[in-house]
Amino acid sequence: MLPPRQGPGGQHLLLLLVLLLPSLPPTRAPVPPGPAAALLQALGLRDAPQGAPRLRPVPPVMWRLFRRRDPQETRSGSRRMSPGVTLQPCHVEELGVAGNIVRHIPDRGAPTRASDPASAVGHCPEWTVVFDLSAVESAERPSRARLELRFAAAAAPEGGWELSVSQAGQGMGAGPGPVLLRQLVPALGPPVRAELLGTAWARNASWPRSLRLALALRPRTPAACARLAEASLLLVTLDPRLCHPLARPRRDAEPVLGGGPGGACRARRLYVSFREVGWHRWVIAPRGFLANYCQGQCALPVTLSGSGGPPALNHAVLRALMHATAPGAADLPCCVPARLSPISVLFFDNSDNVVLRQYEDMVVDECGCR
């Protein structure tokens, strides 16, 4: 399933951007040819989400993680990071775990769940929650699976509540399985969080297509029952195929506006708009990013100076020298990316999950002669 056809401007941007992106080893059937499909493959997506997603608010935790992870956000205005502070690659600092993909997965069982019946004191209902995990790739390694629950209650009982989580039965009328975890809940004002990794499934187990859990919240002393208002799963995974070593801190120098092929080898400005390539309906943020590209001459004396960027390789200097003395003996070095940096993208997937994903080597920061 391919995304809709793009206009000529969007095709040109896609073709240029694909040349800058690293190729990802395929784990599925070969992607059909075309710039849009190649870009999706480089982004680690099987296909572009089709149609407009259901309108639902983006969870605040996803906004916070995006604004902290996105380099172009942290460099601007009040979000500028302190000098010398760099984010670790493939690590979610706010959650304290390794990872480069964060998903906020809503409960799919809520629409079919009947309203909680009036229950006698001490006989509170149980709820079944369902989370769709079909979008998780087999290569991803889980580092956090946090269940987040919001309850509505008239008053907190003395001693608080006890939350129990069990594996839900699969068939009609099937009861819950053994209890996976029990947790004391002092109050229901803030969201109730419970870590499922290591309890709902083992860390090294294969991904289930869906996760069905049975929940029960009972007061520790006689009191009115609470009502489950919302359930979600915050899932953090690490895809090692998209993880690169820590790069040097980003330079403050900005790329120049594109021009002719003349001049020194350096980064030229190229802004990619997600609206222009037709992805604005499912990409939440950013609206676009500076991909940039390399252009310029690598002849002497430019090659020796490094053009304000990283110094040219000795091999490039020798090639430029050989070309100057005997043009037919060697070609000039090429102006290519010498350092790239990542971007973070917040988007809706085909299951209407909110996904935060970090993509390495998406922005050309410096160019050099190679």
- Output the six-digit token pair for 146: 């946090």
Q: Is 328 exposed, middle or buried (0-12, 13-18, 19+ CB in 10 A)?
A: exposed
How much of the chain, in percent, has pLDDT values that exceed 90? 21
Confidence of residue 40 (pLDDT cuts 50, 70, 90): low
244 domain-assigned: no
| pLDDT (tens digit per residue) in 194-206 | 999 888 777 666 7
Q: Last residue of a domain, which of 232, 253, 286? A: 232
Better-scored residue on pLDDT, 341 or 257 = 341
Per-residue pLDDT band at 20 (split at 50, 70, 90): very low
Q: Does 51 score more than 50 pLDDT?
A: yes
Decide if 57 is inside a domain: yes
- Give the helix/strand (H/E) hosting 145: strand 141-152
Residue at which a domain ends, from 232, 254, 276: 232
Q: Which residue has the tokens 């690598």?
A: 298
- pLDDT of 279 reads 82
Residue 107 has pLDDT above 90, yes or no: yes
In a shared domain, residues 291 and 344:
yes
In which order are the strands placed within the sheet that holds 192-195? 192-195, 141-152, 227-238, 101-106, 354-369, 335-348, 283-285
**Chain segment 114-164, per-residue pLDDT in tens:** 555 445 455 788 899 999 998 888 889 999 999 999 998 767 778 888 999
Under 8 Å between Cβ of 303 and 317 = yes
Whether residue 336 is contained in a domain is answered as yes
Q: Are 309 and 338 in contact (CB under 8 A)?
A: yes
| 270/362 same-domain check | yes
Q: How many angstroms from the chain centroid is the CA of residue 210?
A: 20
Query: 303 pLDDT exceeds 60?
Result: no
Q: Give the Cα separation of 190 and 62 in Å (integer).
A: 17
- Quote the mean pLDDT of the chain: 74
pLDDT at 44: 61
Q: Cα–Cα distance between 288 and 271 in angstroms, integer?
A: 7
pLDDT at 34: 62
Q: Phi and psi at residue 256, in whole multiples of 5°?
A: -85, 160
Torsion angle (degrees, nearest 10) of CA 318, 321, 323, 326: -110
Q: Is 185 helix (H, G, I), strand (E, B) or coil?
A: strand
Amino acid occupying residue 324: A
For residue 241, tell me if it sits in a domain: no
- pLDDT at position 83 is 45
Same domain, residue pair 274 and 188: no
Instruction: Give how many domains the chain has, as a whole number.
Output: 2
Domain that includes residue 271, residue range: 41-75+89-96+263-302+311-369
State both tokens at 267.
Answer: 């980064």
Q: What is the pLDDT of residue 327?
A: 62
Looking at the structure, do residues 212 and 158 belong to the same domain, yes or no? yes
Asked whether residue 82 is assigned to any structural domain, the reply reads no
Closest CA to 141 of 27, 237, 25, 244: 237
Most confident of 174-178, 179-183, 222-226, 312-316: 179-183
CB 367 within 8 A of CB 266: yes
* Max mean pLDDT range (92-96, 144-148, 358-362): 144-148
Same domain? For 351 and 281 the reply is yes
